[in-house]
């Protein structure tokens, strides 16, 4: 596979030092010098070994949709970049500053799902399991917990961005790896290669990844892509209707996003042959008054009546609570929802069965998917 991302070679000495620290820490857990808590309860970890950009939130939402018809599901996240501390239950009307953009997005899409944020995931699980029986979940989805070795999940899913193969990457800060690639083989139950092209050659990809990752026979690999839905207004009270994805060609689209990996979305919009303008910010960025002024200025420079500001579903969470947006700007803002789609339907069936059977083994009769 051709490497199409940047490695900062000058920073390799720092990566070497970082790797020493990470390996030493991990060995302390492996040799039980540091304790890792294991619960007699199904806890499914959705994580990665890179710094963002693998699609953890859409895959967490996929698992909620898969499990919630038969089980009470809870989602536990640290609430990255929230301005509050400690244990918090996320409500539909929670402030994004208090709970984080991704937990709020999940809660608003799945209001019947218990969503909790806490940096101390062990203490949070203890608290969740102390709830009254009627409120206690059947399974907990642990968002971004692969590096949280204080907790030993019952099942671990590792996501890999197909646009940045981990076996071509390097440790932080030269690359984006949080841990050496070998940790996938040591601690994961299955691997999902995400953000694939829909026309990807599965056999070629699978051969390459299995060879490079040297997975164990019981570690299964899957390949997913994103399916984009119709464009929706960020602010539902402005009276705007949805825009069909195929009608986006009629507009000049100004894409504003603060996400780790915008490239797949750019590719999708480029394929639609639309007039596209872009402005990107860091992942989970809270837009300041100065940012909003810059966005407005660039949007005003687009000389066309049919123009919109397009953002991601995650960014929409932060824009909705932004006090600096004018009413006119709110009317121009839309977001594009995404869902996980398996490249091959047969893989979807295998994946679904593995997850449902894992949860079913804990307390309920074994269930299989059609």
Extents of the domains making up the chain? 9-71+138-227+341-363, 230-336
Look at the domain 230-336 and name its fold. Rossmann fold (3.40.50)
pTM: 0.94
- Mean pLDDT over residues 36-59, rounded? 95
Q: What percent of the chain has pLDDT over 90?
A: 83
The DSSP bridge pattern shows strands 73-77 and 333-336 to be: unpaired
166: which DSSP letter?
G
d(CA 286, CA 112): 27
- CATH number for 9-71+138-227+341-363: choose from 3.90.1720, 3.40.50, 3.10.20, 3.40.1350: 3.40.50
Average pLDDT for 91-113? 96
Could you give phi then psi for residue 276, rounded to 5 degrees? -115, 130
Q: What is the pLDDT of residue 363?
A: 64
| Three-state DSSP state, 117 | strand
- Alpha-carbon span 72 to 129, nearest angstrom: 13
Q: Reply yes or no on whether the pLDDT at 300 is more than 60.
A: yes
9-71+138-227+341-363 matches 230-336 in fold? yes
User: Quick one: tokens of 326?
Assistant: 């004018």
């Amino acid at each position: 596979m051709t490497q199409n991302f940047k490695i900062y070679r000058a920073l390799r000495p720092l990566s070497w030092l970082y790797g020493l620290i990470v390996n030493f820490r991990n060995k302390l857990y492996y040799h039980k010098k540091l304790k890792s808590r294991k619960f007699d309860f199904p806890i499914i970890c959705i994580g990665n070994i890179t710094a963002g950009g693998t699609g953890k939130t859409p895959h967490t939402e996929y698992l909620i949709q898969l499990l919630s018809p038969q089980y009470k599901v809870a989602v536990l996240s640290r609430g990255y970049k929230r301005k509050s501390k400690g244990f918090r239950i996320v409500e539909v009307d929670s402030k994004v500053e208090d709970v984080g953009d991704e937990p709020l997005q999940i809660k608003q899409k799945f209001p019947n799902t218990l969503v909790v944020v806490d940096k101390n995931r062990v203490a949070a699980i203890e608290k969740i399991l102390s709830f009254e029986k009627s409120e206690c979940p059947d399974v907990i989805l642990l968002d971004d917990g692969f590096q949280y070795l204080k907790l030993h999940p019952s099942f671990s899913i590792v996501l890999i961005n197909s646009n940045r193969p981990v076996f071509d990457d390097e440790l932080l800060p030269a690359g984006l790896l949080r841990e050496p690639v070998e940790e996938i083989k040591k601690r994961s139950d299955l691997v999902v290669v995400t953000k694939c092209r829909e026309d990807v050659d599965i056999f070629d990809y699978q051969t390459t990844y299995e060879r490079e990752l040297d997975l164990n026979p019981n570690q299964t690999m899957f390949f997913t892509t994103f399916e984009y839905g119709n464009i929706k207004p960020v602010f539902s009270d402005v009276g705007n209707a949805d825009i069909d994805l195929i009608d986006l060609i009629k507009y000049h689209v100004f894409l504003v996003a603060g996400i780790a990996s915008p490239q797949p979305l750019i590719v999708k919009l480029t394929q639609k042959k639309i007039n596209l303008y872009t402005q990107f910010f860091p992942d989970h960025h809270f837009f300041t008054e100065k940012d909003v002024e810059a966005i407005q200025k660039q949007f005003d420079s687009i000389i066309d009546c049919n123009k919109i500001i397009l953002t991601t579903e995650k960014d929409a969470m932060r824009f909705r609570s932004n006090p600096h947006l004018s009413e006119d700007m709110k009317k121009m803002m839309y977001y594009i929802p995404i869902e996980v789609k398996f490249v091959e339907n047969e893989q979807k069936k295998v994946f679904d069965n593995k997850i449902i059977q894992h949860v079913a083994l804990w307390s309920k009769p074994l269930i299989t998917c059609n």
